Structure 1
Amino acid sequence: MIIALENEPPAQGQFEELLATVTEDGMNAGLLYETYCQSRYVVAAYDQGRLVGLGRVTDESGTCGEYQITVLQDYQSRDIETYMRKLLSMHRL
């Protein structure tokens, strides 16, 4: 398995599918998608074209490195979040 990391938001349909998989509270997917699209630093993780993780820098002005990262449960033991965090950190410099 090779996970591909891209520095841009996924398609809205993929985003909504990921969100539906990890949340049960009926979050406004459209509004949240716009938030990701407006973020300067975004990383999407794909397994054979399927979105399995998504992350962004939430505090672009500070140096504390606040991130919002979501990875599907089946992929959480594969260090994807660690690689996403490193890539997001590099783009902040």
Structure 2
Amino acid sequence: MNPLIWASMSNHIEVVKYLISNGVNIDARDKGGSTALIQAAFNDNVGIVECLISAGADKDVRNIKGETALSLAYGQTKQYLRSITGIDDYSDYSY
């Protein structure tokens, strides 16, 4: 596994910063087409997401499932909201 992707998934921000400062390919992909940014977003590692974006990570990359960092972050947020509120449909703003 790519060290930057591993560090991003594992919430090791200092390792991420070190790798970036040493010229690692910030948009390298794993077997599923995911980048460090996609993995950080999926794992809700906000600090790492911010670090990667600040370093120039491509926000528009899609994995082999067509998912982007934004779509995965949105999906995670919906799951958190659903578990806290019990509301499944967030298109109804009457609550």
TM range (shorter): 0.3 to 0.5
Q: Which has the higher contact order (CA 8 A, sep 6+)?
A: 1
If the length of structure 1 is used for normalisation, what is the TM-score? 0.32
Larger radius of gyration: 2
More strand by share: 1
More helix by share: 2
If the length of structure 2 is used for normalisation, what is the TM-score? 0.32
